[in-house]
Amino acid sequence: MGNRKKTDSSAATASMNAFDAPPCNNTALRRAARRLGNLYDDALEPTGLKATQMGLMVEIARLRAASDGVAPTLQDLAARLAIQISALTHAMRPLVRDGLVTLQPDEVDRRTKRGVLTGAGMKRLEEAATHWADANARVEAVLGTDAAAALRALADQISSDEFLAAYSQAGLAKPTPP
């Protein structure tokens, strides 16, 4: 019974120390992302798209335009969006099902798939752009132009390969015990 009290006491001390922990950047950023995601989802509701789906469709269009009309591979899309390929294919399923995106095999390596917006996909994306622009303008009006630009810049920095490399290096530089 004495051990149980020590264990309970240790657990209580550990959970109390958690309240003293520094603010969590991950929690704050995820909370903000959920709030913005919900606002953009609400704005896009008339189009039947979620903000994540629109973002994916925009990236397909951007990467294709930047590659002289060559559709991006799923690997290129996943890297650009900083997500796992399995999450990307899961997110693409409703777009493919609804005929907004097609997955085409690469001409050289048939195992590689490329994402292509269909005519219906381009039309839906153009329709959604109006709703997105309204939500984006409202967010920018509330935050202010400078704060909105700083938010985007910080998000771009955190999602960059350079940040990931620096984070990895910071983990290697652990202090040695005395």
Instruction: Give the tens place of pLDDT for each residue, 113-139.
Output: 999 999 999 999 999 999 999 999 999
Closest CA to 100 of 38, 39, 67, 58: 58
What count of other Cβ atoms lies within 10 Å of the Cβ of residue 56? 23
pLDDT at residue 176, rounded to an integer: 59
Whether the per-residue pLDDT at 145 is higher than 70: the answer is yes
Under a CB-based contact definition with an 8 Å cutoff, are residues 77 and 56 in contact? yes
Between CA 40 and CA 140 the distance in angstroms is: 13
Whether the per-residue pLDDT at 10 is higher than 60: the answer is no
pLDDT at residue 21, rounded to an integer: 75
Give every CB contact of residue 57 below 8 A, 6+ residues apart in sequence. Answer: 49, 95, 100, 101, 117, 121, 124, 125, 128
Number of H helices, E strands in the chain: 8, 2
Confidence of residue 110 (pLDDT cuts 50, 70, 90): confident
Say if pTM beats, i.e. exceeds, 0.75: yes
| List of domains in the chain | 27-160 (1.10.10.10)
Confidence of residue 175 (pLDDT cuts 50, 70, 90): low
Q: In whole angstroms, what separates CA 120 from the centre of its chain?
A: 24
Pair of tokens at residue 148: 């909105």
**What digits encode the pLDDT tens for the residues 54-94?**
999 999 999 999 999 999 999 999 999 989 999 999 999 99
Confidence of residue 22 (pLDDT cuts 50, 70, 90): confident
Between CA 54 and CA 92 the distance in angstroms is: 11
Between CA 174 and CA 42 the distance in angstroms is: 45
Between CA 21 and CA 31 the distance in angstroms is: 18
Pair of tokens at residue 4: 């149980």
Whether the per-residue pLDDT at 16 is higher than 60: the answer is no
